[in-house]
Each structure stands twice: as structure tokens, then as C-alpha cells.
Chains A and B, each alone.
Chain A
Amino acid sequence: MSQELNVMEPVTRRRPKGWGRWRLLTLLMAVFVSLAGLRVITGQDMLTDAGTVRTTLTFAVPIGLAALGGLWAERAGIINIGLEGMMIFGTWFGAYFAWTYDNPWIGLLAGVFGGMLGGLMHAVATVTFAVDHIVSGVAINILALGAMRYLSILVYADIPGAGAAQSPVAPSFPTLQVPWLPEALAPVAQSGIFLVSDLASLVIGLTTRMSALTLIAILLVPISYLVLWKTTFGLRLRSVGENPDAAESLGVPVYTLKYVAVIISGGLAGMGGVFLAIVASQIYQEGQTGGRGYIGLAAMIFGNWRPGGLAMGAGLFGYTDALQVRGGGAAIHALLLLLAVVLLVVAVWQVRKDRKGIAVAGFLAAIVLLLWYFSTDSLPRELATYSPHIATLLVLSLASQRLRAPAGVGKQWRASRS
């Protein structure tokens, strides 16, 4: 109901076999090559250096985890707008238990558990009582914010350096590093050759000082794919999200699967919260999640309810966030040029497909962007912060008709026996 209003039937075209498998990789490579080209043209080294890669990961992981949480829930037919609240549970529990036991892994367990608690609440409301999914999610978000502040006031009352809005410093996860590779590649990265040095920076970024939790989070993407698409359990879970009546008639335990999916969803969001609290800042702060639960949901829709796609969505948010944090306006300003070129390509594409309106709009937007690019040197900081949101809105409005949500998502389903 709250997804597409007017979905055009997806056009089934014959593609060469195996193309689907490589499409994601091709797209990633295209993005990477164009970023490398942009770096050479504009001279903004920050676009692809190792620091940006690392920061991107730091920003993308919580969004990606939230998006994975959204994926699990929505694949079982439950819209989980309470991800934000579940992340808040994760940040608080993660920081508190990591600090109390001086062990980040216990914090991780507690944070995941906290998120699962939120997921359980959502499941009870939406599955057992068939409450509207958005309603329950909004209530959980309100509850999480108030409850965690309440707990903070009680727990951190007498702790120096902590209080209603923040926790004491929690220990962090160990970081991983490949022994000699980064040193060997450093000169290559410095050389500034098109593509070669960019690749070297990428490898350096991925092999130095990576937090253990980051690795776990990245691994969760293929794991989710394998579980959801390559196991019987996953097939049943997705069938519940597509057509619960059919699934029920085949003896699939619909309620149980929905419960499991929403609780796992909460756990993943909670893990995202732990990442924010322990890895990104080593401290719980009120408002730390900053709407990342919602962004995660957007990234998942952006990624067409697929693990690979949502990872790309999270990457987009992470990348623009990282550029903004590291370089401010100048680097993002360079992205304007890329965006203009992409819009031009889209416009040309639309002309070929005889859709004049979109083509003209694309041309106009591209020209405005180009003018903007050449008339300024930098983007205002306030707007740069929100560039990922604008990008999401743009991409969704351009591509949302090619997206396909699980057919039963958002429905208040009740078993036929009741």
C-alpha cells in the first residue's frame, strides 16, 4: 500500500545468460571507472583515496545493516519503519554492556539482543495483533527514544563524563590489517595514474585498520543472500512475504516465519546501532542514529529489495557522507559534474526510447547542474550533508518503476483459522 501506486509491469527482455549475475559487478566497475576519471579531470584526489574508502565503510556499514534488517522484514511482508528505534536500542545496550564488562563483544551481543527486543515488539503488534506496520513502527521509534533516555538518566547519573545524553567511553573492537600489502601499494597510490592508483587506494583502504565488526557486517550481506535465496528456509520466508495465503495452504508456518524475520531484522538493526556506538564513536550519544534507520530503509528500496542492491545504496550514502566529512563541499562539488554527465546520458537514452518529456527534463537538469558546477567552487556545507538524500530521491523518482517490492508487503494478514 505504501509502496508503488502505479507500477508498470516489468518488461521481460531476453538477456544473454549470465548477464544478471555480472550486472552488479559491471555497474560497480562503471561507477569506479567514472570516479577515477572524475578524479583525474577535477584533480580532487579525495574522491578515491584510501582515507575516503575507509570513511565510506564506516558510514556505509550502519546504513547497510539497517537496510539488511529492512530486507529481512520486508521479504517476510512486514514493513519495518521501527528500524530507527531498534538501532537506538542497539546503540544504548551496546555501549552500556561494552562499558560495564569492558568487552566490545558482550556489547555486540547485548546490542543485537536489544534490537531483537524491539523487533519482537514490532512482531507482536504487526503479526499477532495485525496492527498497521507503519503505526507500530512509529510507536516503537518514539518509545525507543524516550526509554533509552530514561535509562541513561537512571544508569549514568553518578558516572563522571556521562549523563542523560551520553555514555562513558566503551572499549572498541580489534582492528584487522593485512601485513605488508598497504606499504607495498602506497607508492602506486601516490603516482596518480588513472585507474591504477585508484585501484591501489581502494585496496589499501580495504586492507588497513578495518574493524572486526565491519568485516562481520560486510560478510552479512552475502550470508543474507545465501540464506534467503539458496535455502529452503529462505524460500519459505520469501513466500510468506509474497503470498502468505499460498504459503499457508502449503503448510508453511506463516506466523512463525514472520516472527523470525522481524526479530532477525531487529537484531541486524541493533548491530548497526552497536557499530555506531562502539566502532564509529566509542560512546553512546542521544540522537546518534540520526535517522539512519530510515535511510537504511531507503537504501533497501533503492536496491530493489536485494542484498547486492542495498549494499550499493548503503555505499552511495556512505560515500557522499564520507566526502562531506573529509573534504566538505569541494569534493561533492566535483560530483556535480558526474551527476550532470549521468543525467545527459539518461536524457540521450530516453530520446532513443522516444520518451520526450523525461529527456527534456533530463537535459534541463543537466544544464542547470553544469551551470552550477562552473559558476561555483564549492557546495554549502549544509546542503552537502544532505546530498545523499537528494540523490536517493532522484534515483527513486527515476528508477522506482523498475523496482519490485514483495507482493505481500504491508498487508495485515491473518491466518485463515482465526
Chain B
Amino acid sequence: MSRLPRPGMTLSGPMAAAIAVALGTGVTVGLDLALLWWVALIIGVVVAFGFVAWSAPLVPDRRPTWVTDGNADAFRPLALLLAPPLAVTVGVLATVLLSQSVSDWVAAALGAALGSLLAYVFFHHLAGLLTLPGRLPRPAVTLSGPMAAAIAVLVGTGVTVGLDLALLWWVALIIGVVVAFWFVSWSAPMAPAETRSGGDGAKEEGTALHQSMVLPVALLLSVISGLLAAWLFDLQLLEWAAALLGAALGSLLAFVLYHRLSAMLALSFVAVFAAGVLAIGVTAAVLHFSGIPPLTTFDRMLEYGTRPNSMVQIINDGITYYLAAVAVAIGFKMKLFNIGVDGQYRLAALLAAAVGGYLILPPVISQFVVIVTAVAVGGVWAGIAGYLKVARGVSEVISTIMLNAIATGITAYLLTEGRLAVQISTNNIGTPPIPESGWVPGIPATFLGSEREIFGLVFLAIAVGIGYWIMLNRTRFGFELRATGQSQTAAEASGVDVKKMVFLSMLFSGMVAGLVGLPQLLGSSHYYALDFPTGIGFIGIAIALLGRNHPVGIVFASLFWAFLNQAAGILPFDGIPQEIAVIAQATIVLTVVVVYEVVHRWGRRYQQQQIGKQLGRTTESAPEPAAVSHGPEHGFTEGDDGAPGRSDEGGTDGTRGGEAQ
């Protein structure tokens, strides 16, 4: 777009914005006659954005930071990635809201106008807007960190509660969190330098990447978390109290993220966000071409997925998926592909169920023995693959696939009457049910407004998650694991016993995999029968990818996955194939990995350019002394930042980490 020739004239800012709005609205209204309104709107807003990008050099002194920063060329596409989806999303949302009061095409026109305007604002003023109050005078006092955070929370909550009287609660909350964010950015320089230097965000402050990428992401995340929290609290509390708590949480997050969010983490969020928008687009297109209206479908899914009973189901499924994904992630960190989680958990669940069903043990011991059995069986089954890899050099991908099939055979062999199974119902056989003393009691989900129970083993999943985090970040084993995953040769050269690491990580992966079936077994079904859920291992692979192998990322990924599964359950009643959820899931996995690769390539190139720039500044007998003293230090922080950023990344990233050097 920007390669098109431009006339030799200048445009004032409002003029350019007006043209962009007119263009976007015009295109939308025009296309509205031929296409669906939301397709027209997307095209309209994108056209407006294209115009804004094209006309940017014509607008004096209104350039976005990354245009003026000569070194940031590599980074420009990255920022462009964030702005159009945001503008489109807001436009679509506005249209949906407006269409309740005015006719459809008017709503689409207004939505397009808003989207186009936002496209202009985001392109030119995003960074400026977020740090707008930074130009206000500040009193000459210093604020300690906790103090600033407390004030931010107070400001955000106060604004929300005040506006709550006049506006809808969620509008009040958004405004409150934005105000809190402004306060944080305004008060940031008042904090003493030494307390601020600890945060990743503070180190990168002032760079183009931080201004136009990290800050918007931080704001977006705080607002979204605040809204989600308020919505969850709303199930229990009064509306105003929920909004208050949500605003408090959002404001607190605004403070934390402003100071702590590192560029690499922000990039990951951008990748997930962009991939989500892409996947929704693809899913909508698939639905549209199958003759199903996408928006009503999404609406229906959202409504059904947020019912109290659905939420309990989502949490319960999420627990199972989480364990499977952690099992896979342990291998991924080592660049080991444990495709065999599927077989490991099924075999483990069968044998654990048999132990629980045949051995009558006192209450606590029974559960303990069942869990230990499952862990041991999962570990042994994965250990075979680990041993074959270490001792005989067999690719773990192939051996675990074979072991999956063999596990299917063994479960089928053992699960026959006369061996381990008894008749459960007329057409189902399974292991004898575990006596009630051996169950794990559920947690009543009344706080979600549901009669059902959350699996008691949710605590096991939490423990596994925490253990995984500690193992990865706080132990020597975890360090060696990550080191081996990123570069096997480098790890070997520094004395890591790679073979031992391969075997152990396979073993641990299998042990966690053994736990996968237990929440279901001890929490609800109490026996292993023919209808025990299968295929969770493969879901675990996808979720580990989606959550970037991070213990917290996997939580969201597994809940999201479970949400899609559960929400799609309503669709067959409307004559819509439920499998649209699977298509959405697979698309989002593919787009997430692709976008993540692309975003990180750009991000790394940008960092390299930054470092190069600073190195150049120090060697070239620097014109201003400030830069000399600042240069090496700043260069160090950039390099320093790369390390934690990379350690957060998935097993897929190590080789390119090396390549970038």
C-alpha cells in the first residue's frame, strides 16, 4: 500500500482521519449491498487502515513512533498486526450492539465509522494516547512501588464505582481501568530508579517496541482480565460489588503489567491474539460457506458455554486436559515428542481402576495406592520409549506411536470378562467399581451457581502445575532440561548427561500422563469401562502448543479448549454440526504456531537492530556523552531480556535461538 505514489501535498491530522472514516464507511455501505454486513465491515475497516498507512507520510508531525524511529522498519509489520484486528473487533462489537436499536445497515455504517476512526487513532496515536498524561506536571515526590500500586487500584476502583451510577457496569469498568493505567504511566517516573530497574518492562521503557506494542498489550490484558473477573464475581455478588472487585483487579494488573511485561511475553500475547482473530475469521468463513449464519452460531455457543453447569463441565474437562498437556510439555521442553501420552494414560487408568476395584483398602490409602499405580504404569510405559531412544536410538515419535497401538491391544485384552472386567450394564463391561471410600469427593460448585461438583483432583492438577513450574525454573534438573532442549550439543559440552536427561524426562512425562485419567476415574465414573474417554493424549499435544508449554499458559489453553468442546454441544440442537469446534481448535493451533513463528522472527530482528544501533553508538566516539554511558548498559538489558523470554518459549524455538546469534 505504501508503495503507491502519493501526491505532493500535506494533510492535516483531522483531515486525514475524516477521509479515512469516509472511505471506511463508504466501502462498508457500498459492499453491504452485495455481501454480509460483517464481511463488508471488515473490508471497509481494512481499506481505511490501508489509507491511513498510505497517507501517513503526508501528515506532518503526526507520525507514529515506529515511523520516526529509523531502526524500527523490521518492527513495523508487527505493530500493523495488532491495530487492524483491534479496530475491526471494536467495529464489529459496536455494530452488534447498535443493531439492537437501529436498522442493520445504519449500525454497520456507524460501526465502520468507529472502526475506521480507531484505525487512524491506533496507527498514529496509540503510543501517545497511552502515555498521554505523562506530559502533565508531576509533584516532586517519590512513590514507593506498593504505594503507587495502591493509589492506582484506588483510582481505578473509585472511577469505576463513580461511573457505575451513570453507565453500564462494564463501560464504567473499562474507563476505570484505563484511568488507572494512565495514572500508572504518569506516576512511573516518580518511583525511585532502583526499585523500578527490577521490572522487565521498565528496562525497555521508551523504545519503540515498548511504546507501541508492550503498552497496548498491557492495557488490553488488564481491561480483559478486569472484565472477566467482574463477570465471574457477578455470578455470586451484587453487580456493583463485582464491578468494584473487577476494577480493583484490572487496576492492579495495569500496574504490574506496565512495569513487568517484557517485550517477548507481549509478543506472545500478540501472537495469540492475532491467531485468535484469524481462527475466528476462518471458522466464520467455514460456517458461512456451509450456509450457516456465523454470528448467531457464535452467540449460541457463548450463551451455552457460560451456563453454570457448562462451566463446571469446562473446569472438569480442563483438569484432565491440563494434566495431559503438562505431560506433553515436559517432553516438548526437551524437544522430545511424547505422542504416546494417549496410550500411557489409558493403560495407567485401566490398571489403576483394577487395583482400586479389586483391592479393598482403607479410605486414604486406597486413593494413594490408585494414584501411585497410575503414576508407575504411566512411567513404565513411557520409560520403554525412553529406554529405546537412549539405548537403541529408536525415534521416540515412532516408538510411542507403536506403544499407543500396543496399549490399545493390551487394554482390549485385559478388559474382557474373565480377566479384569465385569458386566457393568447390559452393553458395557468394565473393571469393578471402586468402593465409595476410595473416591475423591468433589467440590460443590455453588459459587458458580451450579448443582454439580468440580473434581476433587483439581488440587492434584494444581500441584502438578506448580511442581512443573518449580522443576523447570528452580531446580538444576529443570535447567538442564531446558538447556538440552535448546541445544543438545551445548548442553553436552557443559557436562549435562543428555542420555540420562532424555530418559528421565520421558519417564516424568509418562508419570504425569498416568495421572490424566484419574480425575475422571476417582471423581465421576469410578470404573474403567469401554466408554472411558480416549484421545486425550492428542488433545494434550495441541493444548501444550497453544499454551506455549508454560504452566500458566496451559491453564488458559485447556480451559479454552474445554470451552469450545462444551459450547459446541448445543449446536446439534440447531442442526449445526458440532465439529465446527474441532475445526476452530485445529485452525487456532495451526495459526498460533505460524503467527508465533512470524512474530518472533520480527521481534528478534528488531532486537538485533536495537543492539546493533547501540553498539554502533558506543563505538562511533558518540556525540553525546549520555549515550555512551547509557549504551552498553542498555545493550546488556536487551540481551538480558532475551534469556527469560526464550526460556518461556516452546520446544520449537531452540534452534532459531541459536540461529539468531
Contact = CB atoms under 8 A, between A and B. Distances in A.
Contact of B395 (A2, A143, A390): A2
B590 A136 contact: yes
Interface string A382-406: 1101100110110011101100000
Nearest to A386: B409
Interface stretch (B198-206, B430-438, B516-524, B576-584): B576-584
Q: How large is the interface on A (under 10, 10 to 19, 20 to 34, 35 or more residues)?
A: 35 or more
Interface in A143-159: 143, 145-147, 149-150, 153-154
A129 B498 CA distance: 29
Contacts of B577: 149-150, 153-154, 164
A134 B337 contact: yes
A139 B542 contact: yes
Interface in A327-353: none
B198 to A, nearest CB: 34
Interface string B570-600: 0000000101111101110110011001100
A398 B392 CA distance: 7
B593 A5 contact: no
Interface string A118-158: 00010001000111101110111111011101100110000
Contacts of A147: 579, 582-583, 586
A132 B594 CA distance: 9
Interface string B585-617: 111011001100110000000000000000000
Interface string A47-75: 00000000000000000000000000000
B413 A383 contact: yes
Contacts of B579: 146-147, 149-150, 153
Contacts of B525: none
Q: Which of B404, B416, B589 has the most CB of A within 10 A?
A: B589
Given A2-B396, A136-B593, A141-B538, A298 B402 contact: yes
A3 interface: yes
A159 to B, nearest CB: 15
A139 B406 contact: no
A310 interface: no
Contacts of B396: 2
Contacts of B302: none
Contact of B392 (A134, A397, A411, A414): A397
B461 interface: no
A412 interface: yes
Interface in A96-137: 121, 125, 129-132, 134-136
B406 A386 contact: yes
B393 interface: yes
A135 B538 contact: no
Interface string A1-19: 1111111000000000000
B457 to A, nearest CB: 26
B582 A145 contact: yes
Nearest to B286: A150
A393 B538 contact: no
A1 B585 CA distance: 27
B225 interface: no
Interface in B65-117: none
B405 A386 contact: yes
Interface string B404-417: 11101110110010
Given A5-B502, A150-B579, A131 B593 contact: yes
B542 A129 contact: no
A291 B416 CA distance: 23
B580 A412 contact: no
A383 B337 CA distance: 26
Contact of B388 (A129, A397, A412): A397
Contacts of A389: 402, 405-406, 409
Contact of A412 (B403, B404, B655): B655
Interface in A198-212: none
Interface in A290-314: 291, 294, 297-298, 301
A178 to B, nearest CB: 37
Contacts of B394: 4, 393, 396-397, 400
Contacts of B388: 393, 396-397
A139 B589 contact: yes
A394 B409 CA distance: 16
B402 A150 contact: no
A46 to B, nearest CB: 21
B291 to A, nearest CB: 8
Given A132-B593, A149-B579, A400-B394, A393 B409 contact: no
Interface in B469-508: 498-499, 502
A380 interface: yes
B593 to A, nearest CB: 5
A217 interface: no
A145 B401 CA distance: 18
B426 interface: no
B399 A150 contact: no
A213 interface: no
B196 interface: no
Given A139-B586, A142-B582, A412-B656, A5 B408 contact: no
A389 B385 CA distance: 13
B332 to A, nearest CB: 9
Q: Which of B405, B410, B585 has the most CB of A within 10 A?
A: B405
B480 to A, nearest CB: 16
Contact of A301 (B336, B398, B413): B398
A414 B658 CA distance: 13
A170 interface: no
Q: Which of B290, B337, B399, B590 has the most CB of A within 10 A?
A: B590
A286 B626 CA distance: 68
Nearest to B541: A138
B593 A4 contact: no
Q: Which of B388, B395, B593 has the most CB of A within 10 A?
A: B395
B259 interface: no
Contacts of A125: 590, 593-594
Contacts of B450: none
A142 B586 contact: yes
A121 B396 CA distance: 25
A143 B395 CA distance: 25
A201 to B, nearest CB: 29
A133 to B, nearest CB: 10
B154 interface: no
A390 B402 CA distance: 7
A107 B403 CA distance: 34
Q: Which of B398, B585, B586 has the most CB of A within 10 A?
A: B398
A393 B582 contact: no
A30 to B, nearest CB: 24
A81 interface: yes
Nearest to A380: B413
A87 B412 CA distance: 25
Contacts of B581: 146
B652 to A, nearest CB: 4
A300 to B, nearest CB: 10
Interface of A: 1-7, 79, 81, 121, 125, 129-132, 134-136, 138-143, 145-147, 149-150, 153-154, 164, 291, 294, 297-298, 301, 380, 382-383, 385-386, 389-390, 392-393, 396-398, 400-401, 411-412, 414
20 contacts: A7-B393, A81-B339, A131-B597, A135-B545, A139-B545, A139-B586, A139-B590, A142-B538, A142-B542, A142-B582, A150-B579, A153-B579, A291-B405, A294-B398, A294-B401, A382-B409, A385-B412, A389-B402, A390-B406, A392-B402
The 3 closest A-B pairs by CB, nearest first: A146-B582, A143-B586, A386-B409
Given A154-B577, A401-B392, 6 more contacts: A1-B335, A138-B541, A146-B581, A291-B401, A291-B405, A411-B655
